[in-house]
Amino acid sequence: MINKCLPFLLAILVALPALSAQRSTVRPRTLFDTGDQTTIREIIEMERQAKEASLRRDADFSQKTLAEDYVAITPLGQVTTKSDTVSARKSGQLRYETINVTDMVVRVYGDTAVVTARAEVKGHQLGEDFSGPYRYTRVWVRRTGHWQAVSYQATVTQ
């Protein structure tokens, strides 16, 4: 078997210098196409609006932008739904004083965008302080031309 492959391997070794001497033009490829860049800007704007809505306890924003099947997982592992989120905003039981978002990354997969970020938060829920550093992931899906959050998960960090 080695004897049969040897001529083939020698031919490749002889041809390699000739192939490598050929000039080829390599065009740099952008990491994202224009559509992805537009989507990333849209998602960054949705994240900005979500932050502002949290600070203002804007239940209408949650009603409008959370999907009916929205699920969030809190830092304590509790599962909350769209109706839970809207109720918490309306009742005022969840209050944010400040939210400072950093290290945001948006990845686009067609009509789905995944956001990961850090957030330094100051706030109270039912009188309990939950201030501190967090990492979060939010998943947005474009449905009938509009972005809706379908999932959110937050974790306390050090």
Cα(47)–Cα(116) distance, rounded to whole angstroms? Answer: 11
Which pTM value belongs to this model? 0.77
pLDDT by residue (tens digit) across 68-114?
A: 999 999 998 999 999 999 999 999 888 999 999 999 999 999 999 99
Instruction: Tell me the average pLDDT across 14-40.
Output: 51
Residue 23 vs residue 86, higher pLDDT: 86
- 115 pLDDT above the threshold of 90: yes
> Which residue's structure tokens are 């203002």?
56
> Which residue's structure tokens are 């005022």?
92
Correct CATH for 33-156 of 3.40.50.720, 3.10.450.50, 3.20.20.70, 3.40.50.2300 = 3.10.450.50
pLDDT at position 127:
87
Cα(149)–Cα(68) distance, rounded to whole angstroms? Answer: 9
- 31 pLDDT above the threshold of 90: no
pLDDT at position 32:
52
DSSP conformational letter for 129: E
Average pLDDT, whole number, for the chain? Answer: 83
- 4 pLDDT above the threshold of 70: no
Phi and psi angles of residue 60, each rounded to the nearest 5 degrees, phi first? -65, -40
What does DSSP say about strands 79-81 and 94-109: parallel, antiparallel, or unpaired?
unpaired
pLDDT by residue (tens digit) across 82-92?
A: 999 999 999 98
What percent of the chain clears pLDDT 90, i.e. is strictly above it? 72
Residue 40 structure tokens? 């990333």
- 12 pLDDT above the threshold of 70: no
Residue 150 vs residue 2, higher pLDDT: 150
Residue 112 structure tokens? 């789905």
Cα(148)–Cα(42) distance, rounded to whole angstroms? Answer: 12
